Amino acid sequence: MNTAQISVPLWQRARPLTEAELENIPWMKSLSRAEQEHAASHLRAATAQAGDTLCRIGKPPTYWFGVIDGLLKMSNDNANTPPITFTGVPPGAWFGEGTLLKREPYRYNIQALRKSTVAGLPIDTFHELLDTSLAFNRFVLRQLNERLGQFIAAVEIDRLNDTDSRVARGLAAMFHPILYPGVGQLLRITQQELGYVVGLSRQRVNEALNVLQDRGLIRIEYGGVRVLDLDGLRNAVPVGESSMPGFNERDR
């Protein structure tokens, strides 16, 4: 990519989605044929480079975003408060529906941790589907419900002093089968990227991952982490302490 291309804003160099990309959008499957065609005609995809910011605190929303490939980070970096990373955003995720519903400025930043392909549905099309599609409404309501549980868990993670448990629960949050259906059992993530997500150094993340592997919760693989015991990650506490109730879809 040359310098002229880099200077062009992300959504000014967007393109239509491919058939394969459209087939992997979770909410498209529940729509009628006419609704699918309407949404597809407005969806656009673009490639964000590492460090690019898609959503910025204080800026008005213009798109509902989804991750086709790559990894993003949701945080309050550069806000007038202590920095907090809320969650990583892996493939299959669609996010920001609460902000679009209220048409209010973003209260968080979304930044690409690596080269990522991101899809966007314009805010007006988002509201059109809300007004006309029962299936779309159900999807968005379920997203909001699951997101509430995710952010409650994020607050708990941020208060954990034990770094092994912090890494465990931070990982578990990115294996959410409803919010992040594109992940499966293997998350493509580097230890440096995971450090950005959970707010720890790469070295400390490396130590924690090895502890979790020794406990049979994960397996470290080339280029990523495979989950062997998701419930164990969600309820991870320091060795020797009793387990506390963790994030579980059945609890809500």
Average pLDDT score, the chain: 85
Domains of the chain, residue spans = 13-154, 161-242
CATH fold match for the domains 13-154 and 161-242:
no
Residue 214's nearest CA partner among 206, 204, 222 is 206
Q: Is a pLDDT exceeding 90 seen at residue 218?
A: yes
Q: Is a pLDDT exceeding 90 seen at residue 115?
A: yes
The CATH label, of 3.40.50.2300, 2.60.120.10, 3.30.200.20, 2.60.40.60, for the domain at 13-154 is 2.60.120.10
φ/ψ of 159, rounded to 5, equals: -95, -5
pLDDT tens, 89-102?
Answer: 999 999 999 999 99
Confidence of residue 154 (pLDDT cuts 50, 70, 90): low
Rounded-to-5 percentages of helix, strand, coil across the chain: 45, 20, 35
Residue 119's nearest CA partner among 43, 19, 24 is 43
Mean pLDDT of 236-248: 46
User: 161-242 is classed in which CATH architecture?
Assistant: Orthogonal Bundle (1.10)
The residue behind tokens 């990227």 is 193
Confidence of residue 83 (pLDDT cuts 50, 70, 90): low
Per-residue pLDDT, 248: 41
Cα 109 from Cα 107, distance rounded (Å): 7
Looking at this protein, which amino acid is placed at residue 114? Answer: R
Q: Return contacts of 210-218, CB within 8 angstroms, 24+ apart.
A: 211/164, 212/164, 212/167, 212/168, 212/171, 212/236, 215/239, 217/168, 218/171
